[in-house]
Structures are given as C-alpha cells and as structure tokens.
Amino acid sequence: MKIIVCIKQVPDTSEVRINPETNTLIREGVPSIINPYDLHAIEAALQIKDQDPASTVTALTMGPPHAEVALRDAIALGVDDAALLTDRAFAGSDTWATAYALAKAAEKIGFDMIFCGKQAIDGDTAQVGPEMAEFLNIPHIAYVKKIEKIETGKITVHRLMDDGYDVLESSLPLLMTVVKELNTPRLPSIKGKMRAKKIEIRKWTRQDIGAEDSLTGLNGSPTRVSNIFAPVIKKERKTITGTPDEMAAQILDELKALHCIQPG
C-alpha cells in the first residue's frame, strides 16, 4: 500500500491571539505544531504499515521553509519520507489552490490512499482534503472514525455523522479525512527521532510538481478575504422572578419566542 498523509503546520491555538488593530493572527512567538487532526491521519497510515510492512507512508505539506519541522516530526513518528512544497509562487493560496498544489504533488508521488485530518485548527475549513480528491478525480470519504477492513482494491470504513455513523465501502485509490475518534496517535520513537534529524527532505517548487501558474497561489485562489474581525460577543442577561412554577412558564415562553423549542 502506498500511502500519502497530508499534514499542516499550525500555530498551537491554545496560544493564539488576534491583533485587535489589524485583525490578523498574532503568530510571532507562538509555537508551531502538527495540526492535531493530522496526527490521527499519520497514525491511521502507520497502523496500516504496522499490519503490512511493505507499505510506504509519505508525509506531504505545503508551507514556508519552516514547515520542514513538521515533516521531521512526522518522520520521528515512523513515516518513511516526506515532501515539502515551498515556493513564493504558492503564497496566498486559499483552500482551492492549496488542494490543487497538493494534488499535483500527490500525483508525482503516487498513491493508493491519501489521509488528511478532518480540518486544520487554524483555518477550520475542512475543505482541502475533499477538494484535493476532486482535483485527483478520486472518491473521498470525510470524517472517517473507523477503518473496518482493507481488501484488494477496496476499503470499508465508518463515517462519523451527527446522529451516528455510516458504513461505507469504496474502491481504491481513495482520499479520507479522519476524526480523532479513529485512533490514539503514537509518540515518537528514539530511532525515528534519530532518522528525522538526518533525513533529506524533498523540497519542491511549482515547476517541480508541474503546477500551472494560473492555478497556483494567489492566481489560483478564487477566495477574496474582504474583512477579518474578531466577533464581538454580546451577552444579554435577563432575570426572571416569581414562584418556581411562574419562572418555569416564563422560561418556556422565552424559548418558544426564540424558536429554541417547538410551540405546542
């Protein structure tokens, strides 16, 4: 099995704040980590490799040169090799242009399966994985919470839904985005860390992956951000008085008026 795991280096959100003047994220001094959902994607790939040691797992990311650190962290966990898409041409990519670049790189690497985290904790869009599958013209299953079985050319998984889960079967190749219920990510190993320190990480530019200029970076990004702001949180408080019965009746009326519950 040839597996690609797409990972993203993100700021540790427990530490992120927004600059109230510019309305942009303050990234300085915030430690970078592998997007937590992507750790579950890496674990999913490594568990397949544990079962079938002939498998290879490649970590793929697009980002600034510093994103190499995230790839080395993935190697320390047991991933075989890694590729970093880094080029000024990629700057300003929205999810669509990012998915395009990752798809081009995935084609270059070759794969039977691609794993992504369900979303990145900085952008929270959950779009890149599914969009990548569209560019690659392969099926995708989002929110995978369990891999039931893998057979020749097909896979059966559980997809997390609001009201339970779906059991889905798909042909391979396939892209999956995973939720944290899927597994418990492992910790790095000493041998992995030693390998991570020495390994040569492939660095690819737009030309290296054969991406078209018009579809890359800002050129390939239909999204326009018109304004970024921190939402003002308005809290209204109302005190209800009376006997317990009266108060309960009032609360019921309020909830009906707010359409929180069905009248009747």
Residue with smaller CB distance to another protein, 11 or 192: 192
Radius of gyration, CA atoms only, the chain: 22
Which of 37-45, 186-194, 229-237, 243-251 is the region at the interface with another protein (rule: CB under 8 A)? 186-194
Q: How far is the CB of 40 from another protein (least distance, A)?
A: 15
Work out whether 191 is an interface residue with another protein (CB under 8 A).
yes
Edge-to-edge strand order for the sheet containing 81-85? Answer: 164-171, 154-161, 140-151, 174-178, 113-117, 2-6, 56-62, 81-85, 202-204
Residue with smaller CB distance to another protein, 72 or 159: 72
Residue with smaller CB distance to another protein, 59 or 76: 76
Q: What does 184-195 look like in DSSP terms, one character per residue?
A: -PPPP-HHHHHH
Site string for another protein, 60-99 (x = CB under 8 A): ----------------------------------------
Report how far apart the first and last C-alpha atoms of the chain are (Å, whole number): 57
Tell me, by CB under 8 A, how many residues bind another protein: 9
Helix (H, G, I), strand (E, B) or coil at 238: coil
Work out whether 189 is an interface residue with another protein (CB under 8 A).
yes
Cβ proximity of 58 and 98 under 8 Å: no
Which of 22-30, 97-105, 123-131, 189-197 is the region at the interface with another protein (rule: CB under 8 A)? 189-197
Instruction: Tell me how far apart the alpha carbons of residues 215 and 206 are, in angstroms, rounded to a whole number.
Output: 10
Work out whether 186 is an interface residue with another protein (CB under 8 A).
yes
Work out whether 194 is an interface residue with another protein (CB under 8 A).
yes
Structure tokens at 228: 């970024």
Binding footprint of another protein on the chain (CB under 8 A) = 186-194
